Each structure stands twice: as structure tokens, then as C-alpha cells.
A and B are shown apart, each in its own frame.
Chain A
Amino acid sequence: MILSVTDLDVHYGPRRRRRQVLAGASLAVDRGEVVGIIGETGSGKSTFARAVLGLVRPSAGRIVIDGEDAAGYGNRQWRTLRRRGVIQYVFQDPLRSLDPDLSIADSLTEPLTLRGVPRAEAVDRARAYLSRVRLDEDLLPRLPGELSGGQRQRVAVARALVTEPKLVILDEPVSALDAANRVQILEILKELRATGTALVFISHDLGSVAGIADRVAVLYQGEFVEAGPTRDVVTKPTHPYTRLLISSAPTLRRKVS
């Protein structure tokens, strides 16, 4: 198990107006597995990712990452855990995920240089991963403003990979992209899975993860209401919300209204 979340509760807001965003959420991700988390806006899917990454503190529950229970960790402990380079994240918005004042090389090498990796070695790794996401190395000295959205998203994926994490969480990685870029990124992620990296996809659209996920978990109003192998969830859904998701997913089969 690379990730094991048990009975996670997360609350937001000041004491008087606390809202519960996640209630008893539980999920397990095996090494090398691809899991899709499907949820609509307000379901708590982003909060789930943020809790697992330590950006938000849970009120209850366990978050075990590669054997370490991080749920009660403070800032310093989270920093130590993060420097192990086990878990990484790709943001949804490609336009804002890179520092506009730093070159691509600087952005890519940051996860390595901040933990003391010498610059030369970091740049070599950056170059290697840049080619993995099918980008040319002459992009290294450029600024993000000179790249297209699709290219920036690929750089963001490369940045998440330079530390060779065991688990990468991706939040709607392809929804802001056009068709050609989408296919490219999904291809890259498929290759990634082949190297044994576990992936967690977060999306509001079942269709966008069904093609790559081994298992799917449906998040509805802060709880996982259904989970299982993709084929089972799609063909034999048990929860009414899952059924709604499936019937809403845009497919090319003509709908008869």
C-alpha cells in the first residue's frame, strides 16, 4: 500500500461556522495502481487531495503514506516526509502552476535543489524528464509565459516526476486542455504507470479517467459512496449518484431523448 486513508474527517471554517467537508473518507492505493476519484464541485475531492498532501489538517482519521502515518504531523514533520520525494501533485490549472519569473529549468530543478541536489545533476534529471513528457530541451531557459497551456501542463507533470515519486496525485490534469494535448498527456501517464508509479486521478468526469484507471472511487458529499474495479463500477453501479454520473458522461453514442 503506498497510500492508506482511513476515516478521514476534514472541517473548514472558524469555530462557530464549521463545515464538514470530508466525513469518514477511506481509500487505499496499491503500489503501481491507478485510482480515479470522481466527484462534483463541492464533493470534497480537492480537500481530500490537499489533506493527503498535508496542505490541510484533518480533524480525525489516518493518512498512511508509504508506511508513515502523517495525519497528526506538524509543518516540520511534513517537510521531512515531503523531502523523501514519495508523493507529488499536478495542479489543474496549467497557466498558474509555474512561477512566471522562473525559467523552466529553475522550476523543474526546484524539487531537487531545495533538498541539496547539486545543480548540474538536477539539470540533467530535468532534461531527462522533459524528454519523457515529449518536450524539447531548448525550452529549459524559457519562461512559462512563452509556452502554451499544453506545454506548461507537461512541464508541471515533469516537475512532479523529477523526484521519482511513488505516488502522483493529479487534479483534473487534462480538463483544461484540447484534444491533441489531452491524448499526449494521457499517453505519458500510461507510460508512467508502466514504470510502477501509482497514480490518483481526481476528476468530475468519470469518462476522463475510465480509460486509464484500474479502480474508481466515487466521492459524494464528503464520503466515498462507491469504489471498485472500473469495469464493475461503470457496468454495475450500485449508488444512484454513480448511475447519474454514468448516464451524464458525454459519449459518442447518439442519445435518444
Chain B
Amino acid sequence: MVRRVLTLASGRVAVAILAAVALLAIFGPLLAPQDPLSTSDNTLAGISGQHWLGTDYLGRDVFSRLLDGSRVSVAGSLEVALMALVVGAVPGILSVYLGRVFEWLTLRLADTLVALPLLLFAVAVTALLGNGITQAMFVTGVLVSPLFYRVARAATLSVARSQYVESALISGASLGWIVRRHVWVKVLPPIAVVLAQTIGVGFVIVSSLSFLGIGVQPPAPTWGGLLATDLGYLSYQPWAPFVPALLIMVTVWASNLLADAIRDVSGEAGRAMVNRRKALGGLA
């Protein structure tokens, strides 16, 4: 599937951006030219050779803080996405096969979770469980999981009633065989789409929470936190909020673009499109 996504221009752009953000998260803190936490007297300085993006109100190097803060933001969004995937997708697939009671229970649970307001709940949980971004992210993951549940369930339902699955049943296939052989491949693409999208959502949530000062202990830098402090000193550095905001926007945009690209190459229509392009000489 990765190869197919890369045949689309949108796919290549999205993967490139997200790969860059991932590299930033992994290597960023190591590449920071200055200590992101060290304060200095050179407050609210402009762009210079020493401080590529200037300094903030405590004299700390903004560029270094951005690089360092990338790890928290990316890790947070991944935590949300993976939590939602595991908590949502697996029950979604199983709800088709484990009987009416399980189906009813999981459906009602998903409905309930959908009704809860995301950010409010995350804030409430951090108040209860302590101010850690990981706790907030896991709770957010659970709250976002109904989406994965419904998508996985819908994909499984459409496969479960198909003739080739019935044919496998008639030949004596077990439930495990059918899920491994037929269901999994059909469920993966829609899940991948939702996953890509959720990474973007997770990113916004992490940024929002850190913007509000929740989940992070200052003075640890985060993109959202940077944005928050920048807004406080707008009259001194009007251009300052642009960089963290831009980073957040581009990352979220790239993840949605990736979700679109995965959706475009999935399923029969997607396969047909990819084949057509190959036949026409791989025009982007």
C-alpha cells in the first residue's frame, strides 16, 4: 500500500512532510544549537546568527525550544492515535462475530464516548490523574476510539456478508481464518485513513492542551506552549507566533493529506486508478 500511496503526488508530499516532522522529533532535541531551558538576559531578541528565530521573553533560544518541543507534540499525537486504534478497532472487528450481547454493549459504549466533549474531558482527567501529557493523551485516545470502532465494524460487516466469505465458510474455514485471510486486508485501508487523520487530530489536541498549560510542566517547551507565550508578547515580537502555528498547521495538513491519499488508492476503485496511471506511464 505504501508504494501505491507514493505514486500520488499528494502521497509523496504528505509522506515527505510527516517524515520531516518525525525526524525533527527524533533528532530535534539533539540538534538544538542551544540549551532550550537556559535563560539569558537577551530577551525578545530578533533573528540573528546566534538565535535563528530570536529569543523569547526569558532570553531562551526559540529555535532550540521548537526543536526540543517537537518530541512532546509528536509523541503525544502518536499516543492518541495508537490508543484509539487498539481500543477502537479490535472491538469493532470482534463486534461482528462475538454475538449480540457484545455487539450491543460495544455499540452503546461507543455512542456514549462520542457524546463526551473531547477537550473538556482531557482537562478534567489531567486534574484527576495529575498533570502529565501521557495520561491526557491516553484518555483522549479512548474518547476518539469510537471512530475506529465504527470504521472497523463497517468494513468488517461489508466483508462478513460477502459471497467469498460464505464460500470460505462452506469450505470449512474457521473464524480466525476468515478474519486473517479476508477481513483484515479489507479493514486495514479504512483504518489507515482514520489513523492518518487521527494523528492530525492528536496533534491539535496536544497543541491545545499545552497551549492551555495542561499536561506539561513548564519550563519544558511544546509547540502549543510556545504559541501561548508568544501571544502574550505579540507587541514585541508580532511574527513570533507564526512559526509554531505554521508547524502545527503544516503537520495537521500533511496528515489529512496522507489520509486522503490512502483513501484514494484503496479499494477496487483505488486499485483501478493506480493501474490506469501505471498504464499511462506513471504520470503524477
Contact = CB atoms under 8 A, between A and B. Distances in A.
- In the complex, are there CB atoms of A and B closer than 8 Å? yes
Contacts of A82: 169-172
B170 A79 contact: no
B162 interface: yes
Contacts of A79: 172-174
B268 A114 contact: no
Contact of A96 (B162, B169, B171, B181): B162
B102 interface: no
A114 B170 contact: no
Contact of B171 (A98, A102, A145, A163): A163
A88 B170 contact: yes
Given A96-B163, A114-B177, A83 B172 contact: yes
B276 interface: no
B51 interface: no
Contact of B169 (A55, A80, A101): A55
Contacts of B169: 55, 82
A86 B271 CA distance: 36
Given A96-B163, A97-B164, A110 B171 contact: yes
B272 interface: yes
B1 to A, nearest CB: 11
Interface residues of B, number: 20
A89 B174 CA distance: 17
Interface string A39-66: 0000000000000011100000000000
Q: Which of B170, B177, B182 has the most chain A CB atoms inside 10 A of its CB?
A: B170
A55 B170 contact: yes
Interface in B161-214: 162-164, 166-174, 177, 181-182, 185-186
Interface residues of A, number: 30
A153 interface: no
Nearest to B185: A101
A107 B164 contact: yes
28 contacts: A55-B169, A55-B170, A79-B173, A80-B172, A82-B169, A88-B170, A88-B171, A89-B167, A91-B166, A96-B162, A96-B163, A97-B167, A98-B164, A99-B162, A99-B181, A99-B182, A100-B268, A101-B182, A110-B173, A110-B181, A111-B168, A114-B172, A115-B171, A115-B172, A143-B271, A145-B268, A145-B271, A145-B272
Interface of A: 53-55, 79-80, 82-83, 85, 87-89, 91, 93, 96-102, 107, 110-111, 114-115, 143, 145, 156, 159, 163
Interface of B: 162-164, 166-174, 177, 181-182, 185-186, 268, 271-272
Given A53-B170, A96-B164, 9 more contacts: A79-B173, A82-B169, A85-B171, A87-B170, A91-B166, A96-B162, A99-B164, A102-B164, A111-B172
